Amino acid sequence: MTQTLMQRYALDEVVGTGGMGSVYRATDTRLGRTVAIKVLRPGTDDDEVNRARMRSEAHLAASIHHPGVAQVFDFAEDDSPEDGATFIVMQYVEGHSLGQLLKERGPMAPDQVMSVVQQVAEGLQAAHDAGIVHRDLKPANIMLTPEGRTVLVDFGIARTDTSEPLTDTGSLVGTTDYMSPEQVRGRLATPQSDLYALGVVAFHCLTGTSPFRRETHIGTAMAQLHDELPDLGPSVPEDVAGLVRSLTAKDPADRPSTAAEVASAAARIGAAGSIDLPERFEEPHPSRDVATDPIPLPTSAVRAVAPHRSRRPRVAYASVGVIVLVAALLGGRQLMFGGPPLVPDVVGMQAGDATSRIDEAGLTARTKVVDVANTPEGEVVDQSPAPGAEGSESSPVTLSVASGKVRITAKSLIGKPFADVAAALERRGFAVKREDVTRAGDTGEVVALDKTGRLPDGATILVSVAVAPVVTNAATAPKATSGGSGAAKSSGNQGKGKNNGKAKGKSKGKGKG
């Protein structure tokens, strides 16, 4: 039996979970439209706080009007013990999250990442103009529509300058993988905090992994404070890497001043017009019958709570604690397993699966995008250290992941024979189509290609080849009646072939007469 809220909203399948409850796909039976409904999970000691947070989310999100931010349609609050429910009715975004895309495809091309940065920054600017800081920007909260557009969702821990604090002292609000240093220190989040998170998201999109992820939430938080951003490598253009570095500066004053500035920078660098999506995602949706349960399923928390709640620890003490914790973990692993973990063989796997395999081995993965011919996008083509080597929990396993593109330059091909050029392009996975171009010289040589640069693997390239102009044969041309020299020459040649040239003289005499 379908569960209905307020005799209006018919709940369907669970499409997402959060710290306060579950998100359902539902139908507004009055207006006949599909909506998303976030229902508060009942039966916890923090019901009052969670209701206040959901109320705040509804009011804040409803004040933002931008196509890149999910709309809020309705809010209901009922704390009656029997059938009461507190929920938000929101725009249902058809599509999948950026987190799902990264898990399935791995690293993205720089122009695709700049498209994500530009679109998300435009949505953030609308929120910041309304005085709202998201505070929990991450791939799971960035939805992708079938048209390749981004939509920001989940303002559950967003705040304004006038918001009442809804978290406990000593709590880290947000997701530590993307949390700004000032948030780790317990300071007030600002628009620059959202920009820091966007920079970490961009790094994740370029490499397939979060740059500061460590074994524990504490370790990750300390990395946000003290560790430098890893090098993005030569495959990432310098202007793209520069923007990511500026967004992830430890000091908020060193980051761009506004999200609009970031969006403009990404557009100048070369953001794609939309985000490329697979024809279908392999991840299955949750079973439809879970939505018939009147109580939303319990979910993981969106906030990571620091273990010391009585007072804020000094950063130096926290760093020492992390070192001791890591040492204890290393010692425990060696006692249990007899030595350091071995690096698994992940070459040939998709980047998301390979990263999971590395994580399961107790190691950290770092990916870099490389252009390799005849290799599907997202496939791991190399790894370092090699399979079977002893891994180190302090050093990541670097995975080289195919971009699905191959770079070619006209300079290396123009002027060469067509057969050589065609063979070289076909070896690199391209299909070749020939076009003849009339030229006085360079016959048989390549004079132009219709496209160059980083091209999709398997693309068709039109190759222009020089061919000689067509010349009319004089022997087959019509003979003039008064110009006997031509006829005499032909006749003389024939005579020479028959009787040592005796006919040649007769032919000339006849021609003169």
Residues 323-373 pLDDT 10s: 333 333 333 333 333 456 888 899 998 888 888 888 778 788 888 888 888
Return the structure tokens found at 313: 């620890």
pLDDT band at 60 (very low <50, low <70, confident <90, very high): confident
DSSP string spanning 235-303?
A: TS-HHHHHHHHHHT-SSGGGS-S-HHHHHHHHHHHT--SS----SS-SSPPPPGGGGGSSSPPP---SS
Q: Which of 216, 177, 224 is nearest to 329 (CA)?
A: 216
Q: Containing H/E element for 493?
A: helix 484-499
Q: What gap in Å lies between CA 289 and CA 395, rounded to an integer? A: 44
Which is more confident, 430 or 393?
Answer: 430
Q: What gap in Å lies between CA 108 and CA 236, rounded to an integer? A: 11
Q: Is-catalytic flag, 136?
A: yes
Would you say residue 318 has pLDDT above 60?
A: no
Q: Catalytic residue among 47, 79, 136, 239, which?
A: 136
Terminal alpha carbon distance of the chain: 115
Crossing angle of helices 98-105 and 191-207, in 10° steps, is: 20
Which is more confident, 275 or 319?
Answer: 275
Would you say residue 222 has pLDDT above 50?
A: yes
Predicted TM-score of the model (pTM): 0.55
pLDDT attached to residue 484: 46
pLDDT digits (tens, 9 = 90+) for 120-134: 999 999 999 988 888
Would you say residue 140 has pLDDT above 80?
A: yes
Would you say residue 251 has pLDDT above 60?
A: yes
Averaged pLDDT for residues 282-301: 36
pLDDT attached to residue 489: 47
pLDDT attached to residue 212: 92
Q: Which CATH class is domain 95-284+299-339?
A: mainly alpha
pLDDT digits (tens, 9 = 90+) for 391-400: 876 678 888 8
Is residue 401 within 8 A of residue 106, CB to CB? The reply is: yes
Level-2 CATH architecture, domain 1-92 = 2-Layer Sandwich (3.30)
Q: What gap in Å lies between CA 247 and CA 105, rounded to an integer? A: 24
- Domain parsing of the chain, residue ranges: 1-92, 95-284+299-339, 407-467
Proportion of the chain above pLDDT 70, given as a percent? 70
Q: Does domain 407-467 have CATH number 3.40.220.10?
A: no
Proportion of the chain above pLDDT 90, given as a percent? 29
Is residue 199 within 8 A of residue 180, CB to CB? The reply is: no
Select the highest-mean-pLDDT range: 218-222, 227-231, 410-414. Answer: 227-231
- Report the mean per-residue pLDDT for the chain: 76
pLDDT digits (tens, 9 = 90+) for 447-506: 888 888 888 888 899 999 988 888 766 555 555 544 444 444 444 444 444 444 444 444
pLDDT band at 193 (very low <50, low <70, confident <90, very high): very high
Tokens 């791991």 found at: 380
pLDDT digits (tens, 9 = 90+) for 449-464: 888 888 888 889 999 9
55-69, 141-155, 185-199, 332-346: lowest mean pLDDT where?
Answer: 332-346
Residue 449: φ, ψ to 5°: -130, 140
* Ranges of H-type helices in 254-368: 259-269, 315-337, 351-360
CA 155 and chain centroid, separation: 22
pLDDT attached to residue 17: 65
pLDDT attached to residue 72: 83
pLDDT attached to residue 327: 37
Residue type, 213: R
The 10 Å CB-count burial string (b at 16+, else e) for 481-493 is eeebeeebeebbe
Is residue 186 within 8 A of residue 312, CB to CB? The reply is: yes
Return the structure tokens found at 492: 């003389």
Would you say residue 115 has pLDDT above 90?
A: yes
Query: Is 508 flagged in the annotation as binding?
Result: no
Would you say residue 219 has pLDDT above 60?
A: yes
pLDDT digits (tens, 9 = 90+) for 101-112: 998 889 999 999
Averaged pLDDT for residues 93-98: 88
* Ranges of H-type helices in 428-480: none
Tokens 């690199």 found at: 428
Tokens 């976030």 found at: 38
Is residue 60 within 8 A of residue 158, CB to CB? The reply is: yes
